[in-house]
Chain A
Amino acid sequence: MTRRFEPEGLPRQRRGVTPGMVGRYPDFDVLESAGHWDEVTRETVLKRVHDVPEPRFFDERETETLTALCDHLSAQVGEEPKLPVLAFVDEKLADGKRDGYRYFDMPDDGETWRIVARGLDTEANARGAPSFAVLGVREQDEVCHRFAKAELYGPAWSALNVSRAFAIVTRYVCEAYYAHPWAWNEIGFPGPAYPRGYSRFGSPHLRNGETETFEALESYELDPVQDTKKRGLD
């Protein structure tokens, strides 16, 4: 599977890792600033790059199924390198960390993830595959679209509110993905800023805005609202 959904002309990354090695800031590597970060922050951030957690919460089958789901939700199918989203989700759930609330019609977030795994596998079974992980990419994508529209039915899905379940897994995926320096390279976010801070943040009307030398310079620009509509991505 190639990255056929990417906008045409999106630059290849020359410096700094991004998922799939493409991005708008091809010469930016946030990790080059790591020496300017305070020690506790640096340790927290670099751990995500160099010390990917082993699965503790999900079993092997759940891990395979949910990895495939995360690949679709974060558009990493077939990408190299790939940001290990599920590993961070697993870590958070295994550590007993939650976000501080539960909808009255939902189980615990960890249970929600497990039900989603079961539900996706059942859906794959109905399509003749032993599990969601081995379903063809196109069919996986179709199931994900139905999940997003809360159009999945059956015993597993009746235990929860499907549209809330999609929102919950998407939230966990985004938190894991956009906490990672590879994602920051992709979007031009300079990451931690303590103790260095910023003194150039005023005029937006200069080329690339008023910037510090360590901020990312954009070399490709596209309005996603128009582009995603044009290419029918939603």
Chain B
Amino acid sequence: MIKGSLRMPRDNDSAHLLDRHARGLQNLDRMARYRENDPVDLAVVGAGAGGVTLAQRLARKGWRVVVLEKGPFWDPDRDWVSDEKGSGSLYWTDTRVIGGSDPIEMGKNNSGVGVGGSMTHFAGYTPRLHPSDFRVRTLDGVAADWPISYAELRESFERIELELPVAGQDWPWGDRHSYPHAPHPIAGAAVVAWHGARKCGIEMRVGPVSITNGSFGNRPHCIYRGFCLQGCKVNAKASPLITHLPDAIERGVEVRPDSMVTRIEVDERGRCSGVLVNADGREYVQRADAVAVCGYAIETPRLLLNSTSTRFPHGIGNDSDQVGRYVMVQGATQVAARFPELLRMYKAPPPEVSSEQFYETDAARGFARGFSIQTISPLPIGWAEHVTAEGHWGQSLREYMRDYNHWTVLGVLCELLPQAENRVTLSRTETDRYGLPVAVFSHSLCENDRANIAYATKVMERIWDEAGAQDQLTIDRYAHLVGGCRMGFGPEDSVVDSTHRVWGVPNLFVADGSVMPTQGAANPALAIMALSDRLAGLLDRKRT
């Protein structure tokens, strides 16, 4: 197999618009500038996976698009460091209040800020959803069906996989498929997981990761330095900053960093007319013929709820009290294992090998839906969180930490079910620096969730036992965020229709992970981009 791929995307020149010897975008001096009073075709709120992909696609269809991003416009050479603690600016660290019986810790784990969104610091796993994910209510009698099918997203998955590009072995689970780039070599830490899994009859595969394995336009090969979660300084790991934005800018998209959208403006007919922007303290309205909110599962509902008016006294799109509901995370318990060998898990990308053998419902397990298994490789601060979670501190903490190089970690992504009360609301007492009520995120597990997590944890323990681990450490945690403005069949139990339009507001779209009615056991980045690709395909060409 050749390194890399002969195939390049047809309608996205991003990889060629980058420079081989500098990581920042090269065409910013050519970026379009639109006037505030001159309505653009689309104002996009949030420059992440959903927003940037949508902007790039629509710019190619002649739309005039402005993307408003709360955080900075990153230059990886200048702004990012190959260091765990030094990467704090990549995370959304404005306060969110968390509660419920199983609160979800936010920040570096699941929230990004700045141009490129959370994908700048996601691990890099980009699995597809399975066909069953779209019909969970029909198949299992729980959760919800999507108003669209897997078949309607298949080509979008394929297009995005080519653009990232995704590297991995031929995929035997869900809808069988191959990847544009060959699987990466795997490190010692993943080798032991692979052997352990095989011994207990669990198949694993290398990938799928959106990390170049061979050159790709002007993006270089991965150098296996292990800092995927700290922002890729190499330009090898995908984020919309490098996979879609260079092309978007070339086609007339304007990105305004450091610009927080604080409300969606509505005209007397109940259509949205633009967005109110706070750019470093200066407030202005950007007029737009349509608005796409792409702020992810916390900020998208928060913006809709904060956008009250005479027509929408409870927030835009919230006539049926659905905005902010059904927010989901995945049960992401990790089990670490100790081996006599030195595994040095800091090397190579943290995402290496994974299994979807337990993805689908198996009635014998006693719960609906399933989970995937993936290797994870925390750096020292992340590893310390593992150790302290087990109650170690002082001498015992130091002793475990000195042993860092002997450990490796498996994690699961358990599909947790959507629940109406797992929701984002607005604080009644606390506002942020823009004067907006902060988000309150309440989260509790249901019985099915607990059963799934308990079963998945046992599977990981079995893999490590078979691999010959001397000892194990378990940490219960959660990962990813989807839902909050889910897509559905009618306004009574969803926020957007199958074309991402907010019920009752035809020129307001939501295009991010918050529209997902279920989440499967897959990392959400690929699905979010694929949804934006599909949405753009449904919209008309504006100009030639």
Contacts and interface: CB of A to CB of B under 8 A. Distances in A.
Interface of A: 5-7, 23-24, 37-38, 40-41, 44-45, 72-75, 97-105, 108, 144, 148, 167, 170-171, 174-179, 183-184, 186-199, 201-205, 208-211, 215-216, 218, 221-228, 233-234
B310 interface: no
A187 B405 contact: yes
Nearest to B346: A189
B344 A226 contact: no
Interface string B192-223: 10000000000000000000000000000001
Nearest to B394: A75
Contact of A228 (B234, B340, B384, B399): B399
Query: DSSP class of A's interface residues: helix, strand, loop or mixed?
Result: loop
Given A101-B98, A171-B388, A194-B233, A45 B93 contact: no
B339 interface: yes
Contacts of B371: none
Select the residue from B84, B186, B392, B398 with max chain A CB neighbours within 10 A: B398
A208 B344 CA distance: 9
A198 B338 CA distance: 23
A179 B85 contact: yes
A147 to B, nearest CB: 9
B266 interface: no
Contacts of B341: 204-205, 209
B380 A189 contact: yes
Select the residue from B106, B381, B402, B404 with max chain A CB neighbours within 10 A: B402
24 contacts: A23-B402, A41-B83, A99-B105, A100-B96, A102-B95, A102-B98, A104-B440, A170-B388, A171-B385, A171-B388, A178-B383, A188-B404, A188-B405, A193-B227, A193-B346, A198-B347, A201-B185, A201-B187, A203-B188, A209-B341, A222-B399, A223-B338, A225-B471, A233-B394
A23 B405 CA distance: 13
Given A103-B99, A210-B188, A198 B404 contact: no
Interface of B: 77-86, 88, 91-99, 103-108, 111, 185-189, 191-192, 223-227, 233-234, 338-344, 346-348, 379-381, 383-385, 388, 391-406, 440, 470-471, 473
Which 6 residue pairs of A and B lie closest in terms of their CB atoms, listed nearest first? Answer: A100-B107, A197-B223, A204-B188, A193-B225, A179-B85, A104-B99
B249 to A, nearest CB: 24
A205 B381 CA distance: 26
Contact of B227 (A105, A194, A224): A194
Contacts of A24: 402
A104 B103 contact: yes
Contact of A103 (B93, B98, B185, B187): B98
Contacts of A234: 391-392, 396
Contact of B342 (A97, A176, A178, A204): A204
A149 to B, nearest CB: 9
Given A192-B81, A223-B471, A175 B381 contact: yes
Given A44-B83, A179-B381, 10 more contacts: A7-B399, A99-B106, A104-B97, A174-B384, A177-B384, A178-B84, A187-B402, A204-B339, A211-B344, A225-B473
